[in-house]
Amino acid sequence: MDEEPEVATTNSDGMRIAYIEIDTLTAQYEFAKEKSLELEKKSTNARNTIQSKTQQLEKNAQAFQQKLQSNGYTSREQAEAAQASLQREQQNIMALQQRLESELASEQQKFLQAFQDSLDNFLADYNKDKKYDMIVNKAAVLYADKRFDITADVVNGMNRRYKKVAASDSTKTK
C-alpha cells in the first residue's frame, strides 16, 4: 500500500490517530467527481424539463385566457373542458417534478452509500498496515495537528483502487 507518512502520528498516550478531510477527498476522488458530475447533469436536465413544460403550460394558459375573453369557445362546456385540460397539464407537471426529485434523491443516496462503502473498504485495507487506533473525519474535530492528516494518502490510494476497478470493468464490457 502507501508508505507511512514521515511525520509522527502518535499522540502522547501512545494512540495512533489520523484524520481525513472529507471535503478534500470528495473533491479529489475520481469516483466522487464522476458521480457528482452525473448527478449535476441529471439535476440540470430535470430542471430544464420542468422549466420547459411550465413555460408551455403558461403559454397554454395565456392562450386559454385570450380565447375565453374573445368568446372563442362555442359553449361553456368547451371552455370548461379546456380549463380542465390545463389543470391536468399542471398536475402532470407537478407529478413529474416530484418523480424526478425522488429519483435524484434516490440516486444521491445510492452515491453517498457507495462512497461510504468505498471509503470503509479502503480504510479497512489501508489500516491493516498502518495500524491506526482511530481515523476520524476532520470536520468533526475542532483542532488537529497537520501531522495527523492522511487525506492525500487516502485520496491517492482510493484513486489508484478506483482506476483499477474502472479499467477492469471496461475490459469486461468489451
* Residue 9 burial class via C-beta count within 10 angstroms: exposed 0-12, middle 13-18, buried 19 and up: buried
Residue 102 has pLDDT above 80, yes or no: yes
Residue 173: per-residue pLDDT: 67
Q: Read off the C-alpha cell for 19.
A: 484524520
pTM attached to this predicted model: 0.78
Crossing angle of helices 30-69/76-130, nearest 10°? 170
pLDDT for 81? 95
20 contacts 150 by C-beta, under 8 angstroms:
yes
pLDDT at 20: 96
What is the percentage of the chain residues whose pLDDT exceeds 70? 91
Q: What is the mean pLDDT of residues 22-32?
A: 96
Who contacts 41 (Cβ-Cβ below 8 Å, separation ≥6)? Answer: none
Per DSSP, which regions of the chain are E strands? 17-20, 134-137
- Share the mean pLDDT of the chain: 91
pLDDT tens-digit readout, 31-85: 999 999 999 999 999 999 999 999 999 999 999 999 999 989 889 999 999 999 9
